[in-house]
Amino acid sequence: MGEDKRPLAGPFEWVFHASMLLLGAVIALNLTVAFLRPVLPWIGGGLVVVAICWGTVAAIRWRRSKW
């Protein structure tokens, strides 16, 4: 209701807002990498298991569809 919807006043304000958004994105990405690093081998192993299962099912379906 009392929000000011004016455009950014000048280039300094625009650059400041853009740099704050970029800083926030860099911090979020850094935290994400730091939290995922310990479980990354498990995620990779899970993806490998899923790929092997998918390949096995695809091969079995392909062999059965030839008849």
Q: Where are the alpha helices (DSSP H) in 1-67?
A: 11-36, 40-65
Please name the residue that has the structure tokens 């379906």. Answer: 61
Instruction: Decide if 4 is inside a domain.
Output: no
Instruction: Decide if 27 is inside a domain.
Output: yes
pLDDT by residue (tens digit) across 49-66? 999 999 999 999 999 887
Which range of residues forms the domain containing residue 24?
11-65
Instruction: Decide if 3 is inside a domain.
Output: no
Instruction: Decide if 2 is inside a domain.
Output: no
Instruction: Decide if 29 is inside a domain.
Output: yes
Q: How many separate domains does the chain show?
A: 1
Instruction: Decide if 28 is inside a domain.
Output: yes
Instruction: Decide if 1 is inside a domain.
Output: no
pLDDT < 50 positions in the chain: none
